[in-house]
Chain A
Amino acid sequence: MKNYKLFTATVFAFSLLLGFTACKPKNAGSAVSSDAASKVYVAPGKYDEFYNFVSGGFSGQLSAYGLPSGRLLRVIPVFSVDPEKGWGFSEETKPMLNTSHGFVPWDDLHHVQMSKTNGEYDGKWVFGNANNTPRVARIDLKTFRTAEIIELPNSGGNHSSPFITENTEYIVAGTRFSIPPDDKNGDVPINTYKQNFKGTISFISVSKADGSMDISFQLQCPGVNFDLSRAGKGVSHGWFFFSTYNTEQANTLLEVNASQKDKDFIMAVNWKKAEEYIKAGKGRKQSVKYAHNKYSDVTHSATSVIKTEVTVLDVKDFKDLCYFFPCPKSPHGCDVSPTGEYIVGSGKLAALIPVFSFDKLQKAIAAKDYIGEFDGIPILKYESVLYGEVKKPGLGPLHTEFDNKGFAYTSMFVSSEVVKWNIKDLKVVDRVPTYYSVGHLTVAGGDTKAPYGKYMVAYNKITKDRFLPTGPELSQSAQLYDISGDKMQLLLDFPTIGEPHYAQIIPADLVKANSIKFFKMEENKNPYFSNGEAATKVVREGNKVHVYMTAIRSHLTPDNIEGIRIGDEVYFHVTNLEQDWDVPHGFAIKGADNGELLVMPGETQTLKWVPNRVGMFPMYCTDFCSALHQEMSGYVRVSPAGSNTPLLFSTGKNYPVSDTAQKK
Chain B
Amino acid sequence: MKHEKLRIWIRLLLVICGLALIPVLFVPMWRIDLVAPQYPEGLMLLIYPDKLAGNVDIINGLNHYIGMKTLHTEDFIEFTICPI
Interface residues of A (CB under 8 A from B): 552-554, 578-580, 583, 626-628
B4 to chain A, nearest CB (A): 61
Interface contact B65-A628, CB-CB below 8 Å: yes
B64 in contact (CB, < 8 A): yes
User: Once the chains are docked, how many angstroms separate the CA of A580 from the CA of B38?
Assistant: 12
B61 and A578 within 8 A (CB): yes
Residues of A within 8 A of B65 (CB): 553-554, 626-628
**Chain A residues, Cβ within 8 Å of B12:** none
Chain A-chain B contacts (Cβ-Cβ < 8 Å), number: 17
Q: Are B64 and A580 within 8 A (Cβ)?
A: no
Query: Complex: how many Å from CA A490 to CA B67?
Result: 55
Pull 17 A–B residue pairs with CB atoms less than 8 Å apart, ordered by A.
Answer: A552-B61, A552-B64, A553-B61, A553-B64, A553-B65, A554-B65, A578-B61, A579-B57, A579-B58, A579-B61, A580-B57, A580-B58, A580-B61, A583-B61, A626-B65, A627-B65, A628-B65
Chain A residues with CB under 8 A of B58: 579-580
Flag B47-60 by CB within 8 Å of A: 1 or 0 each.
Answer: 00000000001100
The size class of the interface chain B forms with chain A is under 10
Residues of B within 8 A of A628 (CB): 65
For A578, the chain B residues whose CB sits under 8 A away are 61
Q: Nearest chain B CB to A625's CB is how many angstroms away? A: 9
The secondary structure that dominates the A interface is loop
A652 to B64, CA, bound (A): 15
Find chain B residues with CB under 8 A from A553 CB: 61, 64-65
Contacts of A554 in B (CB 8 A): 65
What's the least CB distance linking A44 to chain B, in Å?
A: 13
CA A627 to CA B36, docked complex, whole Å:
14
A627: chain B residues at CB < 8 Å are: 65
Once the chains are docked, how many angstroms separate the CA of A626 from the CA of B61? 11
Q: Which of B36-84 contact A (CB under 8 A)?
A: 57-58, 61, 64-65
Smallest CB separation, B42 vs chain A (Å): 14
Complex: chain A residue closest to B66, CB-CB:
A627
Question: Contacts of B57 on A, CB cut-off 8 Å?
Answer: 579-580
Residue of A nearest to B38 (CB): A582
The closest CB in chain A to the CB of B40 belongs to A45
A326 to nearest B CB, angstroms? 61
Q: Which 7 A-B pairs have the closest CB atoms?
A: A553-B65, A580-B58, A554-B65, A579-B57, A626-B65, A628-B65, A580-B61
How long is the Cα–Cα vector from A578 to B61 in the complex, in angstroms? 7
Q: Give the CA-CA distance A628 to B58 in the complex, in Å.
A: 17
Closest CB in chain B relative to A521 CB, distance in Å: 10
A229 to chain B, nearest CB (A): 45
State how many angstroms separate the Cβ of A329 from the closest Cβ of chain B.
Answer: 56
CB closest chain-B residue, reference A578: B61
8 A Cβ contacts from B6-25 to A: none
CA distance A553 to B65 in the complex (A): 6
Per the bound structure, the CA–CA distance linking A626 and B36 in Å amounts to 14
Which residue of A is nearest B55, CB measured? Answer: A580
CB distance from B68 to the nearest CB of A (A): 13
Contacts of B61 in A (CB 8 A): 552-553, 578-580, 583
Q: What's the Cα separation between A578 and B64 when bound, in Å?
A: 11
Distance from B47 Cβ to chain A, minimum over Cβ atoms (Å): 21
For B64, the chain A residues whose CB sits under 8 A away are 552-553
In the complex, what distance in Å separates the CA atom of A627 from the CA atom of B67? 12
| Chain A residue nearest in CB terms to B59 | A580
Contacts of A626 in B (CB 8 A): 65
Interchain CA distance A583-B57 in the complex, whole Å: 13
CB distance from A416 to the nearest CB of B (A): 45
* Chain A: CB-nearest residue to B43: A580
Nearest-Cβ distance from residue B69 to partner chain A, whole angstroms: 15
Bound Cα distance A578, B65 (Å)? 12
Q: Report the nearest B residue to A579, measured CB to CB.
A: B57
Give A437 Cβ to nearest chain B Cβ, in Å: 44
List the B residue with the shortest CB-CB distance to A629: B65
| Measured CA separation A135–B64 after assembly (Å) | 46
Instruction: Give chain A nearest CB distance to B71 CB in angstroms.
Output: 15
Q: In the complex the two chains form, what is the Cα distance from A368 to B37 in whole Å?
A: 72
Q: How far is the CB of A533 from chain B (nearest CB, A)?
A: 11
CB distance from B60 to the nearest CB of A (A): 9
Closest beta carbon of chain B to A297's beta carbon, Å: 20
CA A206 – CA B81 in complex, angstroms?
56
Q: Which residue of A lies closest to B57 (CB)?
A: A579
Nearest opposing residue in chain B for A521, CB measure: B57
Query: When chains A and B are docked, how far (Å) is the Cα of A554 from the Cα of B65?
Result: 6
B55 CB to nearest A CB, Å: 9
Chain B neighbourhood of A552, CB < 8 A: 61, 64
Interface centre among A578, A580, A628 (most CB of B within 10 A): A580
**B44–chain A nearest beta-carbon distance, Å:** 14
A579 to B56, CA, bound (A): 11
Residues on the B chain within 8 Å of A579, using CB: 57-58, 61
CB distance from A34 to the nearest CB of B (A): 34
Q: Which residue of A lies closest to B65 (CB)?
A: A553
Task: Report the separation of the CA atoms of residues A6 and B45 in the bound assembly, to the nearest whole angstrom.
Answer: 88
Cα distance, A628 to B65, chains bound together (Å): 8
Query: Closest approach, in angstroms, between the C-beta of A494 and any C-beta of chain B?
Result: 27
| Minimum CB–CB distance for B22 against chain A, Å | 33
- Of all chain A residues, which has the CB nearest B60? A579
Bound Cα distance from A417 to B64, whole angstroms: 59
Closest to A583 in B: B61
Nearest Cβ distance between residue A513 and chain B, in whole angstroms? 16
Beyond A579-B58, A628-B65, list 15 extra A-B contacts (CB 8 Å). A552-B61, A552-B64, A553-B61, A553-B64, A553-B65, A554-B65, A578-B61, A579-B57, A579-B61, A580-B57, A580-B58, A580-B61, A583-B61, A626-B65, A627-B65
